[in-house]
Every structure is written in C-alpha cells, then in structure tokens.
Amino acid sequence: MNTISPTPLVLRSRPLDRHAAATLATLLESLLWPPADAVTVLQGDAQADWWTVEAIFTTPPDESELAHGLETAGLDAAALAAVTLPEVDWVRATLARLTPVKAGRFLVHGSHDRGHHPPASVAIEIDAGTAFGTGHHGTTLGCLIALDAILKQGRPRRVLDIGSGTGVLAIAAALACHAMVMASDIDPEAVRVTRDNARLNGARVTAGRAAGAEAPAVRAQAPYRLILANILARPLVSMAGRLRRMSAAGGTVVLSGLQIDQERWVTAAYRGHGFRLVRRIRIDGWSTLVLQAIGSRPSGRGARPRPCGGSRSAAGRYRPAGGHPGPRARARRATG
C-alpha cells in the first residue's frame, strides 16, 4: 500500500506591500478555478511593511488563467514561484512518534519497534488503528500500572475485560496470569481487533460483543477474581451492582475512563454495592480506581451485600456489630 500522499503544489510570492498581498490572496482563493485549498498571508518583518503570500493547491490551476489573474492584479508572472516540498510517508512519521510504553512488567510497542524495544517480562505488540488502546493514554496506562501491582499479590485465574478496545488489557492479563481471559466490547470492530491482537501475541483471550457485562457467555464465567473496565464514568456507575454480583468475594475491580473530578461519584456508587477503595492512580487528568469486593458475593440479581457481624432490629433495620450506627445513618444524622 502506498502511504505517501500526493505532493501538493505550493506557490509562494516575493515580498509585496500590504495592498498587493491582499489582492493576490483574493485572486488565489476566490478568482481562480480550481481555487487554492489554503492561502496564508505572512508578515515578513514586524518593523517593515512587506508581506508574502503562500497558496497550496491539490489540483494545480490553469497556467494561462493564473497568468491572466496576476496581470489583472498588476503583478508580473515572476510574482509567484513554485516551492518544492519533500514527499512524506505520514504513516511512518506517525508511528515513529508512538514510542514503546513501559508500565511495570508490561511493555506495549508497535510492530515498527518489534525487536528494538528494551527487555520486559511481558511485551505486547499493539499497532494504532481502528480501536482504542495503545498504552499511551492515561486511562490505559493507569490500568496497566494497577494490573502490575495486583499481580504482585497473586495471579487471578478468572479475569474479565469490559470495553476491550484493542485488547491490550486482556492480553496483558492473559500473558502475565497464564490464564484464559474473557473480553467484551460493544463495538464489533473492537472485538475483531482484540481477537487479532490476542492471536498475534499468543494470548488466550475469548472476545465477544456485549453491552457491558450482559452477554450470557460473560455471565457464565462468573465469579471473576479480577475485572478490568476502561470505559466512561456514567456506564461504570450504572453497572456497579452487576459487577459486584460478578465479582468473587475479595475480588478486585479496576475502573478507568473517568476524569479526576468524577472519582467521588464513581467511588460512591461502588461503595454502595459493597466495594472498598484500595488505590487511585492519576495520569494527565484521568483517574484509575482499584476497588475490592467485601463480604460474600450476592446470590440474587437484586441482592446487595451487607457487612459481616451485624444483625437486624425488630423494625427490619440493619444494626452493625457493637451497636454503632452504619455509614448511612451517620450521614443522615450529619446532614440533619
């Protein structure tokens, strides 16, 4: 595939006074056919009253029409000269800026860095493309940092990645845990990319299309010891109850895709469903939250976990052990 874009025609004027420069700019952008794709008028010196005009043409104008226009504007043919631009492989230039990303034991790199990246215990090859997740964004990087820390405590055997994108998080977990990882995404293109990247990296990932955690295949593998969800704050809040029901007792949930000012909103939703905040990671204005499921796993679809060691009063209200009011009661008392 030829990734080098066709070289456009660039015309640049000699230094002109303000009136001549304005007249030439009008000619190039309005009076010629085809007109210039872009016209720029640049002041040559802040102290001097002279200007240059540059015009870019994807389709070169007719030479005789251009000469006639210059004559009408009171300018000779030598007023404009073509400027040669180098051919640029924009794909190669873009990839060169996508340097490998290091996050603990993980190193995410593109195919252009294959064989040239520094050693890492878990190297993952992901090319930028039609799905999100090359490791450069603060949300993906935060999840990788969180995953590296979690794995120092042990290798979860059942892992779920919600909103897989390129599959980078699912692949990282599969390679580091030596386990089968379930991945889901609402976008069929992301599912395809996840499968391709998993195959490329030799990772055991089962990817399927699902809105959140609703697919039967996803629910069938519950409970999960680790759930990764790098999506957006609002859907994270809406699925707090579902993720608690799918989490094993003491399981870990890593949430990202939220901004720092959304942390309290998301954290409150998950605390209300039996999670406690373990860690937060902030990168470039984005936040990654690490939470742990407390208490036993709810059995019913609408069940909510409750702390261990308490009882219910005759009125049916929950009373924690020791007779102290629960957090909701304290909150109501504090607010009157």
- Is 167 within the bounds of a domain? yes
- Report yes or no: 160 and 107 within 8 Å, Cβ to Cβ: no
Transcribe 259-327 into DSSP letters. Answer: EGGGHHHHHHHHHTTTEEEEEEEEETTEEEEEEEE-SSPP-STT-----TT-EE-TTS-EE-GGGPPPH
- Establish if 114 belongs to a structural domain: no
Structure tokens given for 242: 């579902």
**pLDDT at site 314:** 40
- 65 with 173, same domain: the answer is no
- The label of the residue with tokens 């009661």 reads 329
Asked if residue 322 belongs to a domain, the reply is no
In a domain, 331, yes or no: no
Handedness of CA 208, 214, 220, 226 (dihedral sign): positive
> CA angle 232-233-237, nearest 5°?
120
Measured in Å, how far apart are the chain's first and last C-alpha atoms?
A: 69
pLDDT, averaged in runs of 10, over the chain (336 residues): 59 89 86 84 75 88 86 85 73 69 91 76 85 83 97 95 95 95 94 96 95 86 96 95 95 96 97 97 96 79 41 41 41 36
118 within domain boundaries = no
- Do residues 147 and 225 both lie within one domain? yes
The reply to whether 267 and 204 lie within a common domain is: yes
pLDDT of the residue at 143: 97
Are 158 and 63 contained in the same domain? no
62 lies in the same domain as 182:
no
Residue 211 is predicted with a pLDDT of 85
Total structural domains within the chain = 2
75 with 143, same domain: the answer is no
Asked if residue 230 lies in contact with residue 139, where contact means CB atoms within 8 angstroms, the answer is: yes
286 and 164 share one domain: yes
pLDDT at 65: 86
315: in domain: no
Q: For residues 259 and 287, is the Cβ–Cβ distance under 8 A? A: yes
Provide the domain limits for residue 52: 9-83
- Domain co-membership, 254 together with 145: yes
Q: What is the CATH number of the domain that holds 172?
A: 3.40.50.150
Whether 4 is covered by a domain: the verdict is no
Last residue of a domain, one of 83, 98, 125: 83
pLDDT of residue 29: 82
What is the pTM assigned to this prediction?
Answer: 0.64
The residues, ordered by sequence, that sit 6+ positions from 132 with a Cβ below 8 Å of its Cβ are 140, 165, 166, 190
Residues 142 and 254 in one domain: yes
Tell me, yes or no, whether 306 lies in a domain. Answer: no
Position 333 scores a pLDDT of 34
